[in-house]
A = this chain, B = another copy of it.
């Protein structure tokens, strides 16, 4: 409720109050992302899964053989948070673990046939929404949009954006 150090914001640091703020894009991003995630959310409900399961399924699908540590690094959550959700995906047969060939302490993660199919089913409505939006907005330069999103990511994390596996 009450914070410790309240940064005074009467005049935001290094703002001369004339800087134009992209309020419209900020708000649009909120609405767009909310609806974007609502499609798979509905499907996940049928499986008793949540958005957290979706993320894991996505990354394991597209970076097959990644270790638990690598997954933690990409998702930026604690191993306790991951374990709770990952365990369910393993127990229900969507993901399997195999001991690392070089380092047998590691657990390499792979999706099963079911896992791959579920990941695809979850991505489908999202992809179609993007596709429809691209056409509706009359965007020919898809690469520009890709560059924009990439540039929105913190520089130090951009290397994680490199696909280890071509997108299906």
Contact = CB atoms under 8 A, between A and B. Distances in A.
Contacts of A48: 1-3
A23 B123 contact: yes
Contact of A21 (B153, B154, B167): B167
A152 to B, nearest CB: 4
In the complex, the count of this chain's copies comes to 2
A73 interface: no
Interface residues of A, number: 77
A46 interface: yes
Interface in A60-91: 62, 76, 88
Contacts of A137: 144, 147-148, 150-151
Nearest first, the 5 closest Cβ-Cβ pairs linking A and B are A23-B167, A137-B147, A28-B149, A32-B152, A133-B151
Given A134-B148, A136-B147, 19 more contacts: A7-B121, A12-B124, A19-B127, A21-B124, A22-B126, A23-B168, A24-B167, A25-B145, A25-B149, A26-B123, A26-B130, A29-B36, A31-B152, A31-B157, A32-B149, A36-B152, A137-B150, A137-B151, A139-B148
